[in-house]
Structure 1
Amino acid sequence: VYNIGLDGRNQDLKSDDNIRFEIGICVFLLLFINGYSFYLPGVAPQDFFKGDKLRVKVNKLASTKTQLPYSYYSIPYCRPDIIVDSAENLGEVLRGDRIENSPYEFQMLVPQMCNVVCRLVLDEKKAKEFKEKIDDEYRVNMILDNLPLVIPMSRLGKDSPVIYQHGYFVGRKVQYAGTKEEKYFINNHLSFTVKFHKDSQTDSARIVGFEVNAFSVKHQYDGEWTGKNRLTTCDAHAKRMVSTSDPPLEVENKKEIIFTYDVDFQESDIKWASRWDTYLLMADDQVHWFSIVNSLMIVLFLSGMVAMIMLRTLYRDISKYNQLETQEEAQEETGWKLVHGDVFRPPVNSDLLCVYVGTGVQFFGMILIAMIFAVLGFLSPSNRGGLMTALLLLWVLMGIFGGYASARLYKAFKGTEWKSIALKTAFMFPGIAFAIFFVLNALIWGEKSSGAVPFGTMFALVFLWFGISVPLVFVGSYIGFKKPAIENPVKTNKIPRQIPEQPWYMSSVFSILIGGILPFGAVFIELFFILTSIWLQQFYYIFGFLFIVFVILIVTCAEITIVL
């Protein structure tokens, strides 16, 4: 391959060996054109053939009313012969997930109608447990092929997308007209819909959806219960299906509950790689764009203030210096030069400032790296508990940067005891957070909630702190303290200059309020969506918007620092 140079002569750009190598690479890559690709963070797809067993797993009972998760088998639901706990990662345990096997089993592409799971006769204790969970609006969560169970909910309007709610209610509470007495009804019949995408070449299928409709049905049968009775309210032979017109089942002492389920299979055009898109659909993109525009307006406002302050201050001071006539006047300090000998003076409680800066660097590094991985898709909700696990591990690993930053600032303040500042950085903020966490965990444990962290997980957290984070903080502090001290551009006066009385708008309280309100104003809309997702047990997966708002927050904090 040749190219004509500026001097008119041919220039050899690539040798024959390079050309052969590149052709070989291209041919190698072309071999994979027909290969399958899947979204980056996902788990490997699983192919199912007709008749393959599909095992449904159960997860925690969750409530937006109490925020206390419970194990599925904490109330008397039907149990398999042996309950097997699935291996959970650190993030899942901290979220209160308890994934276990269940008696619900399907066969791929084989519809089933009115399968009886078990029959249960309530006593006073069991009836009370069901009523408490119904009263607190608990939902049952299940999993099939790593997909959560959802209930499709249609919005008003033909063009509105279908939204999904996680899990189904344990039951519902009804108050009849004209009476104050409340009745409790349990959802004992589940109508499952498994959506699949079929591969025309291999006849295999992949699960792309798992939906349910829950009913409360007072099942009836002839004779005494033997375990093989045919139900008159739900019969596969007579094609009798459960409907909303069937009489509901009230939760009462000494009443029987028969748990049943149907399963239907629906072919879908959704491919396996896109199956999570419907779960993560956000119908309020305009609000997020409004949030970004709102944040940008705050940034522009602050940028204008910073520019105005800098121009006015510097222009006024430089004008004064240009008007000085005598040498004595030139030597006299005015304007911003008045404080040049005091700005680098170590503040009161400088050790605390060093600890705060080090902790801030550690926290900032954790958020930044986690945000980048989330934007790239590595922390997808399909990787259950992945975000929580990543945040914990990143916090631990960022300890080296926290220790480095605190030690560098400590040495700039003429400190000599680097081990002391490393100890404070390693234990101050994590110690306070762990103490609060320990107290809350004890309270949750008292409620017998699955949200309580087990002893083994607690030991793992302590090991991450003492075994990895603390040593890394000391390593970072050692490296930072060995570096040359940061040299101040001007000398610090030995005698501090007296600070004149400041106007009310320069008081500490007012400065703290302004310094917090403006950055909060830049992120409050996105923060609303994050907290809503946490409290309402929803997915949050719009990290692109969040990253933009995060950058705006950094700029806002930098500018408000200059303004104040």
Structure 2
Amino acid sequence: MSHLECLQSAGFSSNSFNFIFQYQDKEEVVLWMNTVGPYHNRQETYKYFSLPFCVGSKKSISHYHETLGEALQGVELEFSGLDIKFKDDVMQTTYCEIDLDKGRREAFVYAIKNHYWYQMYIDDLPIWGIVGEADENGEDYYLWTYKKLEIGYNANRIVDVNLTSEGKVKLVPNTKIQMSYSVKWKKSDVKFEDRFDKYLDPSFFQHRIHWFSIFNSFMMVIFLVGLVSMILMRTLRKDYARYSKEEEMDDMDRDLGDEYGWKQVHGDVFRPSSHPLIFSSLIGSGCQIFAVSLIVIVVAMIEDLYTERGSMLSTAIFVYAATSPVNGYFGGSLYARQGGRRWIKQMFIGAFLIPAMVCGTAFFINFIAIYYHASRAIPFGTMVAVCCICFFVILPLNLVGTILGRNLSGQPNFPCRVNAVPRPIPEKKWFMEPAVIVCLGGILPFGSIFIEMYFIFTSFWAYKIYYVYGFMMLVLVILCIVTVCVTIVCTYFLLNAEDYRW
């Protein structure tokens, strides 16, 4: 019994161990067929065998999703049925035959018209191939029937895989098409740790435009910090001087004086917000998202998460669940300081605010994927697993954080008392309204990250692997500094307009 069969007999899927395999000569190597879909839309994928491809004669090996991230990302590994053994060359061999009736021909023609590509895996190394091509007139369609595999090995590990599609056959109804493959093994000097380097695109991600965008954002941060510091220090110095002069007046002169500015709302600025429950939940969720972003980026910088399928998503879900006490602590303590009494309701809203938004959107899209039989459709069992994580992991940890926040920092510690009667808010210009400031205040933070978002979404929608997490960390730091500066300025403007609303 081979190493692979021993693992299977123990109840493990072969794919769970592919990325740590050290093969012996003649040991079985599994070729997994993943998905097929149009080249110009990477997110539209279907099972490989949703097209009428045939399976090799070798007995199928059952596969179970290795991680939650794999299931959520629509990984659909199915055994190809091809007989491949380590260091064992295979000459061109026919492994199955397609009986091309009218329906199957139409399926292949549709795939070729839409430039369908398919993805395979050998030892966790992805391989892409094209289904077929049309002639110049678009009248005749041809299917690639010969998979020519060239596999590189270093000692007892697989370090490189290349696929060449050959054997172009015209699609003619009511004919038989023979599918064949060959395997050639070659020795390689590539180290096992560096085998994913060929999939990276330094010319794109480390382009000078990327460096210039980071430098531009950094210079904007320096300019913004200096500008905010200079304006606030000069303005606040004048305010302090004016208020110090007013304090030397007697009560009659002070009452007759023209009082305005941020100091006039000191008795109202710590008044509870109009919707403390939602406000506290948003603050707690924001703190948790920041913690998750920071931890996941640091982990991605230390570990090459892109080398394992679904590892980034699995890590993000685990970190989000583990940082739930952060949400409960900051949200619960703020709600308690604002005098909130329905803390259990606040805890539920804070715990499920982000998961409900994300899962609600994902499940809605999932119904569309199920309707079109796409591989992106999330299995029902995975939905149940996500719901169990929310109820049995995130909610209890959020409860722990809420209790700690209420007990440790839930007592009001404001530097001044709150007036019993709210101060009327004077009329102000339209651009000083909170809703306008919220919209305008987001321009600078977005401007500091939009170039990086372009690279991130390019890797998401195109066939590229994002790996420059050092850039992402720099952009996160820049975003935090810009957000802090913009928040200080916007808060000062509102307080100076005697608008004390949160």
Q: TM-score of the superposition, structure 1-length normalised? A: 0.77
Distance 2:468 2:21 in 1: 24
Question: Partner of 1:277 in structure 2?
Answer: 197
Distance 1:101 1:277 in 2: 26
Give 1:326's aligned amino acid: M
Is it true that 1:268 corresponds to 2:191 in the alignment?
no
Answer whether contact 2:134 2:142 (CA < 8 A) is retained: yes
Question: Partner of 2:495 in structure 1?
Answer: none
Task: Report 1:35-184 matches (<5 A).
Answer: 43-44=19-20, 46-49=22-25, 51-66=26-41, 67-81=43-57, 82-88=59-65, 89-149=67-127, 167-176=128-137, 181-184=138-141
Distance 1:549 1:103 in 2: 46
Q: CA RMSD, aligned part only?
A: 2.2
Selected match of 1:304 from 223, 226, 242: 226
Selected match of 1:210 from 161, 175, 180: 161
Question: Partner of 1:256 in structure 2?
Answer: 176
Structure 1: state its 5+ residue gaps.
1-41, 150-166, 198-203, 218-247
Distance 1:255 1:428 in 2: 57
Answer whether contact 2:56 2:96 (CA < 8 A) is retained: no
Q: CA deviation at 1:550?
A: 0.9
Selected match of 1:421 from 334, 346, 354: 346
Corresponding residue pairs, total: 463
Q: CA deviation at 1:532?
A: 0.8
Question: Partner of 2:239 in structure 1?
Answer: 317
Distance 1:264 1:205 in 2: 16
Q: Deviations over 1:81-114 (max 9, x none)?
A: 5433323211011111111221223343343332
Give the percent of matched residue pairs that are identical in Structure 1 and Structure 2.
Answer: 31
Is it true that 1:196 corresponds to 2:196 in the alignment?
no
Distance 1:535 1:440 in 2: 16
Question: Partner of 1:347 in structure 2?
Answer: 273
Please state which structure has a larger fraction of its residues in helix. 2
Structure 1 residues 416 and 340: CA distance shift in structure 2, 3 A: same
Q: TM-score of the superposition, structure 2-length normalised? A: 0.86
Question: Partner of 2:392 in structure 1?
Answer: 467
Answer whether contact 2:36 2:118 (CA < 8 A) is retained: yes
Give 1:196's aligned amino acid: Y
Give 1:171's aligned amino acid: G
SS of the residue corresponding to residue 141 of structure 1 reads: strand
Structure 1 residues 57 and 43: CA distance shift in structure 2, 3 A: closer
Answer whether contact 1:309 1:563 (CA < 8 A) is retained: no
Answer whether contact 1:57 1:99 (CA < 8 A) is retained: yes
Distance 1:257 1:302 in 2: 66
Distance 1:506 1:172 in 2: 60
Q: CA deviation at 1:43?
A: 4.4
Distance 1:543 1:148 in 2: 21
Q: Deviations over 1:147-191 (max 9, x none)?
A: 112xxxxxxxxxxxxxxxxx0111223342xxxx54322121122
Is it true that 1:394 corresponds to 2:311 in the alignment?
no
Question: Partner of 2:425 in structure 1?
Answer: 499
Give 1:461's aligned amino acid: V
Distance 1:499 1:302 in 2: 30
Answer whether contact 2:91 2:183 (CA < 8 A) is retained: yes
Structure 2: state its 5+ residue gaps.
1-17, 491-502
Question: Partner of 1:478 in structure 2?
Answer: 403
Distance 2:216 2:427 in 1: 36
Is it true that 1:518 corresponds to 2:494 in the alignment?
no
Q: Greater CA radius of gyration, 1 or 2?
A: 1
SS of the residue corresponding to residue 262 of structure 1 reads: strand
